[in-house]
Structure formats: structure tokens, C-alpha cells
């Protein structure tokens, strides 16, 4: 639980993001902390800073990716939200939405073939918009056929970039899709931190226990633009003022205090600690060398002897 909080707060404080997870921290943190680093597979999406931290990502990875450090896993070759440590179970997303669903499923299939699937979960997050991709459909369906322990968290934040859900899907609720894939569906209010922890925790446990793929639909609102360049003028004031317009971080704070899990002082201490850790990571990354085109290998093959001119 402290883990959850910590990731939650760190997420709220992270700097420099181009694509922010504002409004989605509760969902993301709940997922990240329900997963087991070193065992599970996790493919975060653009708004999953909280989940990354919860899954144990070093803040330095984030700072390095955003600041373009030559160190760190991406070495300036790919940036920010695309970062990952695939060898350690955290996939490095490509931009093409939906592509991660089958990749996580494939990772789980591998575990099954290796006889190492017991107690393992693979998870990925996806937006309302990305449910319209063929990749999402093919990936989830294939995972369902294989009955793999895949958890797909659909963050239905009412918009895909500027496109409202009325232009994205025609079903009453994305949860209605679960039955069509033969996967278990879970609904949750994405602004309610404790509910997220419970529902997503349940879904992850169901998958871990052999219940096959799980689909969680979290209802919420993106509390920022699509990217930092976007002022989200297209989000109606009425929507912002509605239930899902509330800040899940504030909700979480209140919930934790009311439940007696943490005091306001403890929360503030966490916040300060998280801010310091972020500062430290940023400061370190800032002093690191930038990528140097003359040092760069410019080599897309892992197999050295295949480099042109190598034979």
C-alpha cells in the first residue's frame, strides 16, 4: 500500500512530460502496484507514469528519456514515453496504438511454452480510442483463444486526442466488448483510488489464478490536453465540472486519510520525498552526456556479422 502511494505521488510530481497521465494516476498506479516486477510483463502506454513507477521503473529512466541522455536504456534513439526495459518485463511501446496487446500476449505464450506461466500476469493499458484499432481486436482475441493471463486496462477518458467517444464507438459501454471476446469484464470509477486498487487488484488476481484474460474499463476524464501542446478546448465545461472531472489524487488523499491508512503529515512527507527523488533524477540526467552522432553505431542489426560489408 505504501508502494502504491509512493508511485501515486511520484506520478503526480513528475516533470517535463509531454504526454501526461493527469486524471489517470489512480488507475495506472493501481495496475503498476498490482503487478510483480521481475515476474510479470507490463506494457505501459503514454499516460502510465504512475504505473511505471509502481512497477519499479527507476525515475532515472524517465528523466534520461525525457532529457535525451545518452545513458539509460534508450540512449537518445527513442524517447520519453517509448522507453522500456523489455529484458526485464517492461515493454518499450511503439507509437502505433494497440500493437502492445498481442506483444504482451506473445510474452505470456512464451512463458507457457517454457512452463513458467504459473502465477504470471501480463498487463497493458489502452485508451478508448485505441480500442478501435484492429491490433487491439486481433491481440485480445488471440489472447482469449489461448486463455492467457492478460489484463487489459481500458482507460476510457472520454476523448482520444480531441475525438469524443461518440465518434469512437457506438456501444453503450466499452465493457460490453468483454463478452464478445469471451474475457471477464470489470468496471471501475477511475477517479476512485480505492476502487481502482480493489477492482484492478481483483482482475490481476483473477488472471494470475488462471481465470484467463481480464478487461477492466475505467471511466474517467483526461485532465489535461492530449499532449502539452493541446489546451483541450474541445472538452465541454460541463464535462470538466462533472463527477469524472475530479482529481483522483485529491480523492486518494482524502480516502487514505479517512480510512486511517495515512495521515496528512505522512502524505506530505511522501510528497516531499517523491519530489526530491524526482529532482535528483533530473539533476543527474541533466549532467549526463547527450548522444553523439559520431559515437553512434548506426546499426539496426543485433547480429554483427550481418552488417553490410562485414562478410
Ligand X SMILES: Cc1ncc(C[n+]2csc(CCOP(=O)(O)OP(=O)(O)O)c2C)c(N)n1
Contacting residues toward a copy of itself, per CB under 8 A: 132-138, 141-142, 144-145, 147, 166-172, 174, 176-183, 212
Query: b or e along 28-66 (b: 16 or more beta carbons within 10 Å of the residue's beta carbon)?
Result: bbbbbbbbbbeebbbbbbbbbbbbbbbbbbebbbbbbbb
Asked if 258 contacts 286 with a C-beta cutoff of 8 angstroms, the reply is no
Q: Which of 23, 42, 55 is nearest to 189 (CA)?
A: 23
Instruction: Give the x/- contact pattern for Mg ion in 97-136, rule: CB under 5 A.
Output: ------------------------------xxx-------
Cβ closest to ligand X, residue 230 vs residue 277: 230
Q: Residue 57 is placed in which grid cell?
A: 521503473
130 binds ligand X (CB under 6 A): yes
The DSSP bridge partners found for residue 153 are: 125, 216
Q: Which of 166, 141, 142, 146 is nearest to 156 (CA)?
A: 166
CA dist 174 and 180 (Å) reads 11
256, 262, 266, 271 alpha-carbon torsion, rounded to 10°: -30
Site for other proteins in 156-215 (CB under 8 A): 160-163, 167-169
**What is the closest distance, in whole angstroms, from the C-beta atom of residue 128 to ligand X in the complex?**
4
47 binds ligand X (CB under 6 A): yes
Cβ closest to other proteins, residue 2 vs residue 296: 296
Site for ligand X in 65-124 (CB under 6 A): 95-97
Cβ closest to ligand X, residue 132 vs residue 279: 132
- The binder of 296, among other proteins, a copy of itself, Mg ion, none, by C-beta within 5 to 8 A per type, is other proteins
- Spatial neighbors of 143 by CB under 8 A, at least 6 apart, are 101, 102, 104, 105, 108, 150, 183, 213
**What is the closest distance, in whole angstroms, from the C-beta atom of residue 170 to a copy of itself in the complex?**
3
What residues make contact with ligand X under the rule CB under 6 A?
Answer: 47, 95-97, 127-130, 133, 155, 157, 159-161, 222, 226
What residues make contact with Mg ion under the rule CB under 5 A?
Answer: 127-129, 157, 160
Amino acid at each position: 500500500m505504501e508502494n502504491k502511494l509512493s508511485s501515486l505521488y511520484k506520478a503526480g510530481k513528475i516533470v517535463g512530460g509531454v504526454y501526461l497521465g493527469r486524471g489517470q494516476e489512480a488507475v495506472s498506479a493501481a495496475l503498476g502496484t498490482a503487478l510483480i516486477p521481475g515476474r510479470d510483463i507490463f506494457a505501459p502506454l503514454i499516460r502510465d507514469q504512475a504505473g511505471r513507477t509502481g512497477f519499479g521503473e527507476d525515475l532515472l529512466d524517465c528523466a534520461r528519456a525525457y532529457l535525451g541522455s545518452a545513458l539509460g536504456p534508450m540512449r537518445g534513439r527513442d524517447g520519453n514515453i517509448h522507453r522500456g526495459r523489455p529484458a526485464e518485463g517492461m515493454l518499450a511501446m511503439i507509437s502505433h496504438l494497440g500493437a502492445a496487446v498481442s506483444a504482451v500476449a506473445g510474452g505470456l505464450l512464451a512463458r507457457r511454452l517454457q512452463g513458467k506461466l504459473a502465477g504470471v500476469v501480463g498487463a497493458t493499458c489502452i485508451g478508448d480510442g485505441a480500442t478501435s484499432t484492429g491490433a487491439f481486436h486481433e491481440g485480445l482475441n488471440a489472447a482469449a483463444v489461448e486463455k492467457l493471463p492478460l489484463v487489459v486496462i481500458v482507460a476510457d477518458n472520454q476523448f482520444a486526442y480531441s475525438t469524443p467517444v461518440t465518434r469512437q464507438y457506438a456501444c453503450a459501454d466499452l465493457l460490453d466488448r468483454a463478452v464478445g471476446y469471451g474475457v471477464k469484464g470489470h468496471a471501475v470509477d477511475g477517479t476512485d483510488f480505492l476502487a481502482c486498487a480493489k477492482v484492478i487488484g481483483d482482475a490481476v488476481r483473477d488472471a494470475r489464478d488462471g481465470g484467463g484474460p481480464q478487461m477492466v474499463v475505467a471511466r474517467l476524464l483526461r485532465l489535461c490536453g492530449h499532449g502539452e501542446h493541446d489546451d483541450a478546448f474541445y472538452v465541454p465545461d460541463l464535462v470538466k465540472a462533472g463527477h469524472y472531472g475530479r482529481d483522483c489524487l485529491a480523492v486518494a488523499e482524502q480516502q487514505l486519510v479517512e480510512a486511517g491508512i495515512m495521515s496528512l503529515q505522512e502524505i506530505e512527507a511522501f510528497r516531499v520525498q517523491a519530489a526530491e527523488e524526482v529532482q535528483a533524477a533530473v539533476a543527474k540526467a541533466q549532467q549526463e552526456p547527450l548522444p553523439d552522432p559520431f559515437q553512434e553505431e548506426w546499426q539496426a542489426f543485433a547480429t554483427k556479422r550481418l552488417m553490410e560489408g562485414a562478410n
